[in-house]
Amino acid sequence: MGGMLVRMEMITMDTGYPRLPTDTDNGLLLILSGPSGVGKTTITRGVERGIGDSVFSVSYTTRAKTEADTEGVDYHFITDEEFDALVEQDAFIESANVFGKKYGTRKRWVDEQLARGRLVILEIDVEGAQQVKSKMPEAFGIFILPPSEDELLNRLRNRKREPEEQIQKRFAEAKREIAFAKESDVYDTFVVNEDVETAIAEAIEKVRTARMNHAK
């Protein structure tokens, strides 16, 4: 028993976290981004389902919890004061203020999951991705592209969620994000979502290849 405790303590010192029987050494942080209407959430969930040891990062937020929200599944809901305290502690690998509501990804949780060998998935915008890459350059970034700008505009309209003026604003923002993604060094690869199942399969294959290269 004493020997087992010593061994556990040694392992804990190496990684910072107690090792579990399911832990491996091929953890990878995956950034998935794409403009509104491109289908990135569907692809993100497809990657999560297709890779058994993947975990989806749940952001912290100061926005109000709705009846449809589940704490710890949709978001971790905290106050402005709690959020600001975490910012002061440099506890986030990325954070943003969106229309007065704050969002952030907790670094401690990400580090723990990576130490366990998990694929940690962050679905974030280009600004958040840039923050993550600056702090964790080993992260693997995939940007989801539409087949064409015209097709993206059609998809935004087909959602029938917003008036044309708002759709045009989203379309202009989408073009800005795409241009940034292509010009920056934040993203390692691009996946065109012409057919969603094909795009999911391509994303999964790219992630598996990245993990193999990362483990070498």
Average of per-residue pLDDT across 85-107: 93
Is residue 12 over pLDDT 50?
no
Domain-embedded: residue 9: no
Structural domain boundaries enclosing 48: 22-215
Average of per-residue pLDDT across 181-190: 96
Domain-embedded: residue 200: yes
Strands 140-145 and 28-33 come out as: parallel
Domain-embedded: residue 14: no
Domain-embedded: residue 17: no
Q: How far is CA 71 from CA 78, 105, 133, 160, in A?
A: 10, 15, 27, 29
Domain-embedded: residue 1: no
How many domains are contained in the chain?
1
Domain-embedded: residue 179: yes
Nearest residue to 17 (alpha-carbon basis) of 104, 93, 118: 118
Average of per-residue pLDDT across 173-195: 96
Q: Could you tell me the two tokens for 39?
A: 């289908």
pLDDT at residue number 2: 42
Contact 204, 50 (CB under 8 A): yes
CATH number for the domain spanning 60: value is 3.40.50.300
Whole-model pTM? 0.84
- Give the model confidence (pLDDT) of 46-69 as tens digits: 999 999 999 999 999 999 999 999
Is residue 41 over pLDDT 60?
yes
**Phi–psi pair at 81, nearest 5 degrees:** -65, -40
Nearest residue to 204 (alpha-carbon basis) of 46, 65, 38: 46
